[in-house]
Structure formats: structure tokens, C-alpha cells
Chains A and B, each alone.
Chain A
Amino acid sequence: MPHSPAPSLPQRRALVIEDDPDIRGLLAMLLQQRGFAVAEASGGLAGVESAARSEPDLVILDMGLPDIDGLETCRRLRRFTNAYVMVVSAHSQEADLLAGLQEGADDYVAKPFSARELGARIDAVFRRRRMAEPPGPVRDADMDDEQQRAAAVQRGLLPRSAPEVPGYGLAGHCRPTRSVGGDFYDWHLQQDQLTVTLADAMGKGMGAALLAATLRSALRGAHGPSPLRTCAAALDLAGPDLYALDAFATVFHAVLDPGSGTLRYVDAGHGLAWIVDAAGGARRLGSEGLPFGIEAEAAWEEQTERLLPGESLVAVSDGFLDATGGIDAAAVRIRAELAASASAQDAAEALAAVAGDAARDDLTVVVLRRAAA
């Protein structure tokens, strides 16, 4: 470990990324007075490197840096750290601030700033954080290890291989932005009926992952040939917990009869499934229901579609919308990738890759392709 925390309580760590040495010194002093161990960097690249090493709880980030700018720095920080990122910027124009917040910054202070205001904001953030965290020091090395194990467990809860269904190709891809996330997909072949699920539990990180695991178990436990009955039974199992936690999850759950191509589904507030036809057109499947966890009683309707030879069912999580910029753009992208892909596997991988490395939200894709007649 790069730091030796005090034996009783781990010391909070802060990182100041600012090119002006005077302002950097001032910020460092302000933070030291508040009990932070402070690391400093004069550029974005050095800042990212330092953050990877020192694992700060708080990052103070200047927008106008000499090498990579503050936005890009923030984007890179967000690939690996949950640190509270506070932007300090002379770019007080709203557009810059919004861009910073979109890239994962948590707060901003406009330059010139008052040391008192900045200090008060930092105090407020860490007062809330302390209350939100469980008591007892958690060492970062243990945490890292734990996160890695959690990520491995979550990957292990995804289907390891797709069932062989003659005339169909099935593939899924799930990439959490942090080590774990709230998205998952699942499938099951039983009595010649193929069940496919894609769900997105509220939030990000470990909390979302716990919700996702709960929901996955409930849906598996309730599994049957009727999507409506499965969802209703899963809601009985998981709903009270979701409701009590003010949490919810959106779910797309479908059952395919491979012989006829009949696809029955329940869409619980998910709204992101399409059928792409052989000519390349895409129609979005209707969604009327509320997410899991909103109401105690299930009030969903089962809807029916038909997957014809040459058609594909594509379901994605909302991270796909973030990456493509909206529903219409998402549909265009899905049509293009499906047309360019030789298999369901290729299509799922191409669609999951649209976000690039800068993904802000978990991104999950399932593709079910019916071979042309």
C-alpha cells in the first residue's frame, strides 16, 4: 500500500490536479487542514497516474490543464475510481460545467473560489459519506481484492454458454462500468421453450449488483413456460425487498417457441427491445408495464410477437442509449450492426462495444437470431 494510515482510522486522501502552482498549494493546504493526506499533480496524465496509485477519496480537478483537459481527465478517472470529484474551474460557462458533470464529476466550484465555501462543501460531502458508510476501517487493498472477487462472482452468474436451438443463434454480452453492476442477462431451454431475460437493477456498483443477484434468483426460481406467470411469481419473491429498499429493476423477459417463432414477453419498464427484420428494418417492442419494485401487485400484460426466419430479437440495457444518444440513434445502430454481423455472437459483441472505453453506465446486450429459411 502506498500510504500508511493511522492505526485507528484510515486517513482520508485527496488529490489536487491543478497546473497553477499557487492555487495548487492553496488547495493542498486547505485539504491538509481538514486532515487529508494530499497528493498533487500539475497535469491530467500525471493526475490519472497519481490517482491510480494513491486511490484518493476526493479529487479536486482543474478544467484547463496543459496536457489533457479536465473533461478527459475526469473520463479517465471514472474508469477506475469512485472518488468524489470536485471540479474547480474558471470555465464558469454552463456548457463546460454540464460536460464535466456528464463525465462523472460530482460537484463544481467556479474560480475565483472562496476558501471558506470550498472547505464547507468538502466538509458537507464527507460528513454525509461518513454517515453513509459502515463503521470500522476498511483497508483499500482488501477492498480491491473484494471488488475483484465480486466481479468474478458476477461474471460467473451469467450464462456460460448458449443452449443449442436448431435454426437460432443466441448470444449475450455484459460489461459493467465499475467492477460490478446492476445489469444481467439469463437464458434457459426447457421442454423446447427458450427463455431469455435482460434486466437492469437501479443504480451502479455493488448495491446494484446485490439487487441484480436477488432478482436473478427470483426469476430463476419462478421460471416457467408463461412469461407473465414467471414475472408475477418473481415479483412475489423479490418485490417486497425491492419495495422496502425504494429500489426497482427494469426487466425484459421473453419465452420463444422455436418451432413457430412465437415470442411471448413481459416488458416491465424496460422498453429497449427490437425485432430487426430480414430487410434491415427495426421495430421496437411495446412496453406498458412498470418496473419491478414499484408496485406490490403485478399488473403486467403478456404481449406476443413472431420472430420470422431471418429476423433477430435484440434487447439492450439503457447504457446503450447513453452510448448512442437516444432511442432513434440506438435503433439505427442496432440495424447497422445486425446487418454487418455474420452471427448473433458477432452482433452482441459489436453492440456491446459501441460505448468504447468511456462508458458511464453498465451496458448489456442480448441477440437472438433466427436463421433465414
Chain B
Amino acid sequence: MRFTTSTRGDLVEIAAAGKLNMASASELRRVVAEAAAPGGARIVVNLAGTEFMDSSGLGALVGCLKTARGAGGDLRIANVQEQVRMVLELTNMDRIFTPYPSVETAYDGV
């Protein structure tokens, strides 16, 4: 799993490529904690390159959401692929993580 952090306007994009599982979960937490640290960051995790996520990966996203909100910001996800969408829908976690169609639209209307 590779994580690439970049700034898009007032958003922080974290592109995640590979498999989001037990092996990569702690790295995602670290990357998000770093991005959230200045406070108030609006983070979008771009999952376009994440072809697989298991329950440990979903747990890491939940932890990251708490971290971002705890620092006064927020975290959303964009560009989810089929398998990730299935995991989110099956667990009803799409209610917590609305899958946005693009990084740019993840904070539209908010």
C-alpha cells in the first residue's frame, strides 16, 4: 500500500493505492494523523487505487475519522472501487462514509 498526500485548494488529499488491510492499517493512521495535526484539516482519502479493503482497513478508516474530527476537521472518502463499496454497503458503514464520486466534490455543499 502506498499513500501520497497532496493539497488541493483547501482540501488535503491522501491517495491510497494497494490493499487496505491489517498490514497497511497503521500506516494509514500515521499518514492521516500527520495530515490532521495542524487542526481543522478537510481530508479526502482517495480510494481510486484501493482495490481491496478488509475489516482491519475499515477499522483504520474509522480511527482516522475520529482523529480528523478530534482535530477539528473532517475526513471523507472518494472514488471507491467495487470491492470497497461492497464492504461499506454490507456493514451499512456507507452511512458513516458516504462514497463521493471525486475528491473535488467530497465537500460540496458543506
Binding site for B on A (CB under 8 A): 84, 98, 101-102, 106-107, 128, 132, 182, 200, 202-204, 246-248, 250, 269-272, 287-291, 294, 318, 321, 326-327, 361
In the complex, A348 Cα to B86 Cα: how many Å?
25
**Across-interface contacts of B56 in A (CB, < 8 A):** 202-204
Does A101 contact B22, Cβ atoms closer than 8 Å? Answer: no
- Contact of A291 with B86 in the complex, beta carbons under 8 Å: no
The answer, yes or no, to whether B31 is at the interface (CB within 8 Å) is no
Majority SS at the chain B contact face: helix
A294 and B23 contact, CB distance less than 8 A: no
B93/A269 in contact, CB under 8 A: yes
Cβ of B58: which chain A residues have Cβ within 8 Å of it? 202, 248
B7-29 vs A: 1/0 string, CB under 8 Å? 00000000000110011001100
Cβ contact within 8 Å between A128 and B93: no
Q: CA–CA, A270 to B92, complex, Å? A: 8
Q: Are A290 and B55 in contact (CB under 8 A)?
A: no
For residue B2, which residue of chain A has the nearest CB? A107
CB nearest to B19 among chain A residues: A101
Whether B63 and A246, one on each chain, are in contact in the complex, defined by CB atoms closer than 8 angstroms, is: yes
- Most central of B51, B55, B66, B89 by chain A CB within 10 Å: B55
CA distance A209 to B55 in the complex (A): 14
Interface string of B54-66 (1 = CB under 8 A from A): 1110111011001
Do B92 and A288 touch across chains, with their CB atoms under 8 A apart?
Answer: yes
Report the bound CA distance from A128 to B19 in whole Å: 17
> How many B residues face the partner with a CB closer than 8 A?
25
Q: B residues within 8 Å of A by Cβ? A: 18-19, 22-23, 26-27, 51-52, 54-56, 58-60, 62-63, 66, 86, 89-93, 95-96
List of B residues within 8 angstroms of A291 by Cβ: 91-93
Q: Are B26 and A269 in contact (CB under 8 A)?
A: no
Distance, CA A237 to CA B57, complexed state (A) = 25
* 30 A-B pairs whose Cβ atoms sit less than 8 Å apart in the complex: A98-B51, A101-B52, A128-B26, A202-B55, A202-B58, A203-B22, A203-B55, A246-B62, A246-B66, A247-B59, A248-B55, A248-B58, A248-B62, A269-B90, A269-B91, A270-B91, A271-B90, A287-B90, A287-B92, A290-B92, A290-B95, A290-B96, A291-B91, A291-B92, A294-B62, A318-B55, A326-B86, A327-B86, A327-B90, A361-B54
Nearest CB of B to A9, in Å: 22
Given A246-B59, A269-B91, 8 new contacts (CB under 8 A): A84-B23, A98-B51, A246-B63, A248-B55, A248-B58, A248-B59, A269-B90, A290-B93
Given A101-B18, A202-B59, A326-B86, A271–B54 Cβ distance below 8 Å?
Answer: no
- Determine which residue in A128, A202, A272, A290 has the highest number of CB atoms from chain B within 10 A of its CB, and name it: A202
Chain B residue with Cβ nearest A201:
B55
Closest 3 CB pairs of A and B: A246-B63, A269-B91, A202-B55
Contacts of A271 in B (CB 8 A): 89-92
Measured CA separation A84–B24 after assembly (Å): 12
- Report the Cα distance A161→B33, complex, angstroms: 47
- Select from chain A the residue with minimum beta-carbon distance to B95: A290
Query: Which residues does chain B contribute within 8 Å of A84, judged by CB atoms?
Result: 23
Least Cβ distance of B97 to chain A in Å? 11
In the complex, the answer to whether B91 meets A250 with C-beta atoms within 8 Å is: yes
Determine the residue in chain A with the shortest Cβ distance to B18: A101
Smallest distance from the beta carbon of A235 to chain B beta carbons, Å? 15
